[in-house]
């Protein structure tokens, strides 16, 4: 029982990290109807900026405080992501208003490759470290309840707590602020939103900036665990099955989908892996997403679109 609970908690914590990246996909799709294939590249770009600024600032300004370096690096990396959002709106999205979905999809693919290339040109292509002080030692709990107790990763617990806090902040932002309500209005109907004076271009810059913030937080957490390297953008691809499972337009769906996939891949690897030869963790999420596409293409919480002819 103790081992099962350890696996379950491990899956839930990994699932929260998947959800964090998936929220970036959902935000942009809700506000613009664009499936943003560049979200993974944004995670890598933001993590590279954070890692290198934290390394460069102490050298440039002559201080040694790691905390100050991380705070300044976070602010600078967020400013970079806002500039990226503004450039994407100015140079790409504003030119493609009312174009076909496939055109916008290809545009985000181009943005992804551009960010990958430019990020490595500016910040380098080695493996970089992000040290934000996340605890690395495992934590033993419930020793009196289960023989040997439950061994949990403090780093995963901290990451899950940050992810949960970000989700709460985003939920409040969308539900309680005027800008959040404007974003929801644009998501429901672009033309109707424009007719009541909501500027589409400003909304797109805001939503890409929020997605950039989400990418930065995800990049810091994953970069702290794995190091900042090119494969970080591939980790972000795990968020694709999450949004398919949860629904492209639902933030709660992204959270539930992430948790289901995180738990599912851990349990299947542990309990089915020995019978099937292992490696289930690699493909489990994609097979589950494929099954959902066959039986419920809108996902668990997505909106079912009915065309009347």
User: Tell me: the pLDDT tens digits for 4-13?
Assistant: 887 888 888 8
> Considering only CA atoms, which of 5, 10, 40, 7 is closest in space to residue 160?
10
User: Tell me: the pLDDT tens digits for 248-265?
Assistant: 878 788 888 888 898 888
The pLDDT value recorded for residue 5 is 80
CA gap 73, 55 in Å, rounded: 9
Instruction: Report domain extents, the chain.
Output: 1-295
User: Tell me: the pLDDT tens digits for 81-109?
Assistant: 999 888 887 888 777 766 777 788 888 88
The pLDDT value recorded for residue 59 is 92
When pLDDT is averaged across residues 176-192 and rounded to a whole number, the result is 76
Q: Judge contact between 18 and 33, C-beta under 8 A.
A: no
CA gap 63, 50 in Å, rounded: 17
Q: Backbone phi, then psi, for 133, in 5-degree steps?
A: 80, 20
CATH 1.20.120 fits 1-295, yes or no: no
Reported confidence tier of residue 153, pLDDT bands at 50, 70, 90: confident
When pLDDT is averaged across residues 67-90 and rounded to a whole number, the result is 91
The pLDDT value recorded for residue 307 is 53
């Amino acid at each position: 029982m103790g081992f099962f609970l350890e696996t379950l908690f491990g899956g839930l914590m990994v699932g929260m990290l998947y959800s964090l990246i998936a929220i970036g996909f959902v935000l942009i799709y809700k506000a613009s109807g664009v499936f943003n294939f560049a979200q993974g590249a944004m995670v890598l770009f933001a993590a590279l900026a954070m890692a290198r600024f934290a390394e460069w600032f102490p050298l440039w300004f002559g201080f040694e405080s790691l905390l100050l370096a991380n705070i300044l690096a976070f602010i600078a990396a967020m400013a970079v992501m806002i500039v990226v959002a503004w450039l994407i709106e100015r140079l790409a999205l504003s030119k493609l208003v009312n174009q076909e979905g496939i055109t916008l999809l290809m545009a985000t693919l181009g943005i992804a490759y551009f960010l990958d290339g430019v990020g490595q040109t500016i910040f380098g292509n080695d493996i970089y470290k992000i040290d934000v002080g996340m605890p690395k030692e495992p934590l033993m709990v419930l020793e009196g309840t289960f023989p040997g107790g439950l061994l949990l990763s403090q780093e995963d617990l901290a990451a899950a707590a940050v992810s949960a806090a970000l989700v709460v902040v985003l939920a409040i932002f969308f539900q309680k602020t005027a800008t959040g309500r404007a974003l929801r209005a644009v998501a429901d109907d672009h033309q109707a939103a424009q007719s009541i004076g909501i500027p589409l271009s400003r909304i797109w810059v805001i939503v890409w900036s929020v997605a950039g913030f989400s990418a930065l937080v995800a990049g810091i957490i994953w970069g702290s665990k794995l190091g900042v390297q090119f494969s970080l953008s591939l980790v972000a691809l795990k968020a694709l099955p999450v949004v398919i499972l949860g629904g492209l337009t639902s933030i709660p769906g992204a959270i539930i989908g992430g948790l289901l996939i995180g738990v599912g891949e851990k349990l299947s690897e542990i309990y089915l892996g020995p019978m099937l030869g292992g490696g289930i963790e690699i493909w489990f999420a994609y097979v589950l997403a494929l099954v959902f596409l066959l039986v419920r293409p809108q996902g668990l919480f997505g909106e079912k679109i009915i065309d009347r002819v």
